[in-house]
Structure 1
Amino acid sequence: MWNLICCFFFVAMATTAVATAVSAMTVTSDEDYLAQYTFEKYIADFGKRYADPEEHRKRAAIFKENLAKVRAFNGALGRSYRLGINKFSDMTKEEFNAKFNGRVAAPQSTQSPQRAPYKRTKATFPEALNWQEAKNPVLTPVKDQGSCGSCWAHAATESVESMYAISSGKLLTLSTQQITSCVNNTRKCGGSGGCGGGTAQLAWEYIMNTGGITLDAEYPYVSGETSVTGRCVLNRSMPRVVNVYGYASLPHNDYEAVIEALVQKGPLAVSVAASDWMFYTGGVFDGCGKDGENITISHAVQLVGYGTDNKTNQDYWVVRNSWGEGWGENGFIRLLRKKHNELCVFNNAWNTAGGGCADDPNITIVACGMCGILYDVAYPVVTKPPGRGRFLWAAGTAFGGLCVVMILLVILSRYRGTTPKVYEVFREESETLN
């Protein structure tokens, strides 16, 4: 069964025209500042425009209600994370879930969640790890999927970028648009394909089968602005710079396997329930529900590390999102991490509201970790496709072989008293290789 995701679909409301919103911005969660923050200031800060006065009034009322919720949440005692105002603050929670999630979970199951046994390893691992701090960078800048449900393509591409950087020492920004537009999703695994959702594994299989992925500079990402998948326009002039020749999926809900893979392999592609991340602005997030509660796993992200908060002493996972640098902690979120006692929740419609395929039997899965982060974890195995250097090596070998053949023919012709007619062929071959 496929293991990923439909995605949060960042689509502007049909009655709302959004200008070039300041995606690289989140308003501070400081109470004194928020107490004076107005809708007019919000419009200016985020470049919002609305179709008509009625829509303006509607969004103003929603913003006012959301601002009150943010202030009330931050004002409560014992919070481990904070909320703020961002580009989603003029939407209701229902609109956010319908447009950015697009799936409705089935009724809650009565089955008790079962945690996977933890497999001990002989290796010892550091108390903290963050691939953002690697001496040689392995993470490209945080991207914004925009008005396209391409989280799966971003997570898949980011994982290939990171694994290639670790193995080669070269950090390349690869084409998320190639994955979004060119991957066929006939079985509708994790969604309908393109901006309608997919899976990281589907993306990696596509790269394996088609000879590699090109650079973002060659095939730049535009679906976030157009809101459409777009037809595949990959051509021979676009160099394939990285290939995938396999991928590994970790055992479901295995905490130690995730830690081990993070340390020994690198950043991982993971599936999460992210509907409650809407206004997150910082801290250790623990708001994905209680043990045994039903959630919808419908978003793909990159897991890049783990650590412990110095102030609260809470253990956390470090996750890279694809909602722009203005969301969360510069585009990242820290999720609560519990060693060997992770929260477990349900996803009751894995094939229709999660990462399964449309023709799979509809089953209930048990996903452990905050927001289900431990259930679906995978990483690609990458290599560099045969490039110009390898081509020249092969050409040189053929050239040398041709020389040997010509010499043998010359020697043979002397015995037979004839002149070999191989020069023209040799010259044509030489000109081709040059």
Structure 2
Amino acid sequence: MKGLVLASLLAAVSSLVPTADYTYEQFVEDFHKEISPRAQSLFSQRLSEALSFNANPNRSYTKGINQFSDQEAPPRGRKASRVTSDLKLASTYKRTVEIEELPKEVDWRTAGVVTPVKNQGQCGSCWAFATTATVESHIALETGLLFSLSPQQLVACAPNTDHCGGIGGCMGSIPEVAYDYLIGAGGYAEEWSFPYISYTGATNGTCPASEDLQVKAGIGGYVKLEENNAADVMVALATVGPLAVNVDASNWHNYESGVYDGCEYDAMDIDHVVVLVGYGTDEDTGLDYWLVRNSWSPTFGEAGYIRLLREAPEDTKCGVDTTPQDGTGCDGASTQYPCGQCGVVFDVSYPTGAFLA
């Protein structure tokens, strides 16, 4: 999965809800932008869109102005499509409790097992960042120690010979490929010893020889949940820990806050990998949500997170993705039917056997 390629610039303002008198000149100052006629035109379009959308009193979320508001619609990423039989080391999830036994809300951030939000930049490495964040949490859950591990290691080293979700590195992959690599390689280096250099998307970096890799932690396997089983996703999230999920994030770029319900079920395009870290109910609207960690820096959305509308498992809607082989995909991929808002319960996994080296 390549993910949406978004150039995230350091900004004095992370994001804001615009007013009608907010100007392009103020935007340039707030977000340290270069003045450009084309960028100004895009900004004006996005400002008008946000003002019009936010004027609707019945909306469940708010659109804002952020560092992406003067950019073209970002390129679509590679698909999450893969041939299930090709997964080498996956185990099948078995539900241990029923939904009725679960807490009303879960937020793994409060347990101290979630690292700060990171930034993939212009590299299509969402798959590496989501895998890394998920593994970091499961290492912490198993050992009590929270390390910042290296997404760059996956970008530079994880082979994608079956071309699942892309061709690897900044051109996309999926968590299952990353898990397989990590198991064979013996684990992860810490981020300080293998820092991220692929921010601009110009390079995947160089993979060091195995004897030069300073492995800190690893995993022994991973679990694949049944596709589109919302009940299993909710139980696994509450009882096991954070989950790597594949979603349609094509319209997330102007999300500011609230419970997002903007994905189109009849035209889904699964193109991004993120991490489920919790669920709950919004106090203001009463809407149930999934809490999702993104990799577009803390300036995106709610401090780097987005809340997606969560339907009851028995009422979870499904959509259609008719182009699962955009880019490269996996051989044999065909039309898919992702379920949940933005396909959030379609393709879900987590690592097992976490250990410190």
Question: What TM-score comes out, normalization by structure 1 length?
Answer: 0.75
The answer to whether the 8 A contact 1:345-1:366 is kept is yes
Please report how far the alpha carbon of residue 122 of structure 1 lies from its aligned counterpart in structure 2 after TM superposition. Answer: 4.6
**Which of the numbers 343, 346, 350 marks the counterpart of 1:372?**
343
**Which of the numbers 18, 28, 47 marks the counterpart of 2:32?**
47
Distance 1:46 1:382, change over 3 A: farther
What pairs up with 1:87-126 in 2 under 5 angstroms?
A: 87-93=67-73, 96=74, 98=75, 101-102=76-77, 121-122=97-98, 124-126=101-103
Please report how far the alpha carbon of residue 24 of structure 1 lies from its aligned counterpart in structure 2 after TM superposition. Answer: 7.2
**Which of the numbers 151, 164, 168 marks the counterpart of 2:143?**
168
Please report how far the alpha carbon of residue 299 of structure 1 lies from its aligned counterpart in structure 2 after TM superposition. Answer: 0.1
The answer to whether the 8 A contact 2:218-2:354 is kept is yes
Determine the structure 1 residue equivalent to 2:91.
none
Pairs aligned (count): 342
CA distance in 2 between partners of 1:73 and 1:334 (Å): 18
Determine the structure 2 residue equivalent to 1:112.
none
CA distance in 2 between partners of 1:229 and 1:24 (Å): 29
DSSP 3-state at the match of 2:44: helix
Distance 1:24 1:331, change over 3 A: farther
The answer to whether the 8 A contact 1:73-1:83 is kept is yes
Structure with the greater relative contact order (CA < 8 A, sep ≥ 6): 1 or 2? 2
The answer to whether the 8 A contact 1:22-1:45 is kept is no
AA of the residue aligned to 1:61: S
Pair member with larger Rg: 1
What pairs up with 1:123-272 in 2 under 5 angstroms?
A: 124-134=101-111, 137-225=112-200, 227-233=202-208, 236-272=211-247
Please report how far the alpha carbon of residue 362 of structure 1 lies from its aligned counterpart in structure 2 after TM superposition. Answer: 3.4
Distance 1:189 1:57, change over 3 A: same
AA of the residue aligned to 1:45: D
RMSD value, Cα: 2.2
1:22 aligns with 2:10: yes
The answer to whether the 8 A contact 2:12-2:31 is kept is no
Please report how far the alpha carbon of residue 350 of structure 1 lies from its aligned counterpart in structure 2 after TM superposition. Answer: 2.0
Distance 1:102 1:203, change over 3 A: closer
Distance 1:376 1:164, change over 3 A: same
CA distance in 1 between partners of 2:96 and 2:139 (Å): 28
AA of the residue aligned to 1:162: S
AA of the residue aligned to 1:319: V
CA distance in 1 between partners of 2:168 and 2:104 (Å): 39
Please report how far the alpha carbon of residue 229 of structure 1 lies from its aligned counterpart in structure 2 after TM superposition. Answer: 1.4
Q: Which runs of 5+ in 1 are unaligned?
A: 12-19, 51-55, 105-118, 388-434
AA of the residue aligned to 2:38: K
1:62 aligns with 2:42: yes
The answer to whether the 8 A contact 1:304-1:320 is kept is yes
Q: Deviations over 1:25-44 (max 9, x none)?
A: 43321x5xx22222122222
Q: Name the stretch that deviates more: 337-346 or 148-157.
A: 337-346
Q: Which runs of 5+ in 2 are unaligned?
A: 80-94
The answer to whether the 8 A contact 1:25-1:325 is kept is no
AA of the residue aligned to 1:8: L
CA distance in 2 between partners of 1:335 and 1:295 (Å): 15
Determine the structure 1 residue equivalent to 2:318.
344
Please report how far the alpha carbon of residue 256 of structure 1 lies from its aligned counterpart in structure 2 after TM superposition. Answer: 1.1
Question: What TM-score comes out, normalization by structure 2 length?
Answer: 0.90
**Which of the numbers 68, 71, 83 marks the counterpart of 2:63?**
83
Distance 1:71 1:180, change over 3 A: same
